[in-house]
């Protein structure tokens, strides 16, 4: 019997992401009414905002009609219009919850959200039963599906009506047992800029993860027309944009200006459009150069943009574009150190060769190693942290570039007094070609990141580890 007068509420199940929703049903002598799908109220309860694109109805005239167990590569919202059903769900996704079973009855006052890859099956308990389901993708012959036999001994589902007594299709009768099921893989993650410093660190962070795809511009040019058709985007759960134009001074030239705007703004706008259309999480890497560096304290994620040069302007434009995607993480960082040529490697080499450099001492910030950025990105995605902007830099006391150079010299056993501090103006006084202005203060506040459960490494500890491993020399 349908239960009237319930309050809208969400109930967790043993299968991650599979949630039961108790629905208010209003009835009298004329019949009943309910809000079968109410996005605003239901997402406020914690239901995923899964973006349905199709509504299907399954009508069953006989008691005992049994369908399943089918796992599809989309999310599904199942509710009953008339009658009553027994439902059984089995997690067929790759991972530790594979094979977990949950069963319950559904009537017009109870619905269930079935996440992608969870096998679903239904047995009617009343005649003339109809249930509806919303899905957030269209059927495709190129998608990955999985099936489980209704009588699987491992799942051991206790069907109210024995399977020998009910109507089952021949196809459903012949599905494999759990030991032979092909698990549904997780949605893919696309990493752009695979050959750059951060791209290489992300390869390490996702080592062995077959669902992560790394591409460079040769494989996918996100500034070119046709991006929408370049992939089956419904198969992707996240795009990590580790690609960028980072030649800060060259961006002040006519050619560099065009390239910077193309890579740092136009490309991001294109990615945001795809992410919005297909419900993909967009991870975009930002920069301290979106600020002018005049603030007295550390910059927070909410401070207003005030870029000084072309590079900073294009990065600010990219941030604004990325933020249009409903599911986005803007990872703002500074003073990045990764594989290849970098400041730490250069200072260590100078120390070894007996060269005493002049280093800027009127810019302050913290080193940020790409391994920390990659780990933070994976943490945000894996933990489903609230979407938005997060500052990601090394932790610890802020320092000038000259201070960092002295730390490098000390760590490799050289005399730090060999470093001479100079102003930015003096350092670039004899430079040929245009020079982009630098923010004097590049310190970014880390409280939001740590509140999300990620503890960045103190930059001095990371520096020592890098030099000991030989990656900074």
Q: Are residues 349 and 366 in the same domain?
A: yes
User: Which of 34-48, 196-210, 322-336 is predicted with the least confidence, judged by mean pLDDT?
Assistant: 34-48
The pLDDT mean for the chain works out to 93
Q: Are residues 73 and 114 in the same domain?
A: yes
Among the listed residues 271, 57, 65, the one whose alpha carbon sits nearest the alpha carbon of residue 150? 65
Q: Are residues 156 and 196 in the same domain?
A: no
Phi, psi of 90, deg, nearest 5 = -130, 130
* pLDDT greater than 50 at residue 473: no
Residues 6+ apart with CB under 8 A from 391: 299, 300, 301, 332, 333, 444, 445, 446, 448, 449
Domain of residue 240 covers 188-469
The answer to whether residues 84 and 126 touch, using CB atoms and an 8 Å cutoff, is yes
Write the pLDDT tens digit of every residue in 141-159.
777 789 999 999 999 999 9
The answer to whether residues 367 and 334 touch, using CB atoms and an 8 Å cutoff, is no
Q: Are residues 283 and 203 in the same domain?
A: yes
| Count of the separate structural domains present in the chain | 2
| Domain-embedded: residue 2 | no
Query: How far, in Å, CA of 188 to CA of 211, rounded?
Result: 5
Among the listed residues 317, 206, 306, 302, the one whose alpha carbon sits nearest the alpha carbon of residue 272? 317
| Cross-strand partners of 130 | 59, 82
Q: Which residues are catalytic?
A: 70, 133
Residue 21 is part of a domain; what is its CATH number?
A: 2.60.120.10
Confidence at residue 1, expressed as pLDDT on a 0 to 100 scale: 56
Query: How far, in Å, CA of 301 to CA of 237, rounded?
Result: 25
Q: Are residues 173 and 268 in the same domain?
A: no
Q: Are residues 204 and 312 in the same domain?
A: yes
The answer to whether residues 236 and 379 touch, using CB atoms and an 8 Å cutoff, is no
Residue 371 is part of a domain; what is its CATH number?
A: 3.40.50.720
Q: What percent of the chain has pLDDT over 70?
A: 98
How many CB atoms sit inside 10 A of residue 242's CB? 25
Q: Are residues 118 and 226 in the same domain?
A: no
| Domain-embedded: residue 129 | yes
* pLDDT greater than 90 at residue 254: yes
| Domain-embedded: residue 4 | no
Q: Are residues 44 and 77 in the same domain?
A: yes
Q: Are residues 149 and 202 in the same domain?
A: no
| Domain-embedded: residue 1 | no
Domain boundary residue, one of 180, 200, 226: 180
Confidence at residue 2, expressed as pLDDT on a 0 to 100 scale: 64
Task: Report helix, strand or coil for 209.
Answer: coil
Write the pLDDT tens digit of every residue in 335-344.
999 988 899 9
Q: Are residues 159 and 193 in the same domain?
A: no
Q: Are residues 394 and 457 in the same domain?
A: yes
| Domain-embedded: residue 319 | yes
User: Which of 174-183, 203-212, 217-226, 397-406 is predicted with the least confidence, judged by mean pLDDT?
Assistant: 217-226
| Cross-strand partners of 426 | none
| Domain-embedded: residue 267 | yes
* pLDDT greater than 70 at residue 219: yes
Q: Are residues 54 and 141 in the same domain?
A: yes
């Amino acid at each position: 019997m349908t239960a009237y007068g319930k309050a809208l509420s969400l109930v967790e199940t043993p299968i991650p992401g599979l949630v039961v929703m108790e629905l208010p049903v209003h009835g009298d002598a004329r019949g009943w009414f309910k809000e079968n799908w109410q996005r605003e109220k239901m997402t406020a309860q914690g239901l995923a905002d899964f973006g349905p694109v199709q509504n299907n109805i399954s009508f069953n005239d006989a008691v005992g009609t049994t369908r399943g167990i089918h796992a599809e590569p989309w999310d599904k919202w199942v509710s009953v219009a008339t009658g009553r059903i027994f439902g059984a769900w089995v997690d067929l996704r790759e991972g530790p919850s594979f094979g977990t079973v949950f069963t319950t009855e559904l009537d017009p006052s109870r619905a269930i959200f079935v996440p992608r890859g969870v096998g679903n099956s239904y047995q009617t308990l009343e005649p003339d039963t109809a249930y509806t389901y919303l899905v957030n993708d269209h059927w495709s012959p190129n998608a990955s599906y999985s099936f489980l036999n209704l009588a699987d001994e491992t799942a051991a589902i206790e069907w109210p009506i024995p399977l020998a007594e009910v109507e089952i299709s021949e196809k459903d009768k012949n599905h494999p047992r759990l030991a032979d099921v092909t698990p549904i893989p997780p949605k893919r993650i696309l990493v752009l800029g695979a050959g750059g410093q951060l791209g290489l660190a992300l390869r390490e962070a996702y080592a062995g993860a077959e669902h992560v795809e790394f591409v460079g511009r040769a494989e996918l040019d996100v500034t070119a027309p046709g991006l929408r058709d370049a992939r089956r985007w419904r198969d992707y759960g996240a795009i990590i944009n580790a690609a960028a134009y980072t030649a800060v001074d060259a961006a002040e030239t006519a050619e560099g200006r065009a390239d910077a705007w193309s890579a740092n703004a136009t490309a991001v706008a294109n990615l945001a459009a795809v992410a919005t259309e297909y419900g993909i999480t967009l991870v975009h890497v930002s920069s301290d150069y979106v600020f002018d560096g005049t603030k007295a304290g550390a910059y927070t994620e909410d401070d207003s943009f005030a870029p000084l040069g072309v590079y900073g302007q294009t990065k600010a434009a990219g941030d604004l574009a990325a933020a249009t995607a409903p599911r986005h993480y803007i990872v703002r960082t500074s003073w990045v150190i990764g594989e290849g040529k970098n400041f730490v490697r250069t200072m260590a080499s100078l120390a070894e060769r007996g060269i005493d450099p002049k280093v800027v001492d009127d810019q302050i910030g913290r080193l940020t190693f790409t391994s920390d950025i990659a780990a933070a990105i994976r943490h945000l995605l894996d933990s489903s942290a609230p979407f938005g902007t997060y500052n990601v830099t090394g932790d610890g006391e802020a320092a000038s570039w000259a201070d960092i150079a002295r730390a490098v010299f000390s760590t490799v056993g050289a005399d730090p007094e060999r470093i001479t501090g100079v102003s930015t103006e003096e350092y670039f006084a004899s430079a040929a070609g245009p020079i982009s202005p630098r923010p004097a203060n590049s310190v970014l506040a880390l409280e939001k990141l740590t509140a999300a459960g990620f503890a960045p490494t103190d930059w001095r500890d990371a520096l020592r580890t890098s030099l000991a491993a030989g990656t900074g020399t």
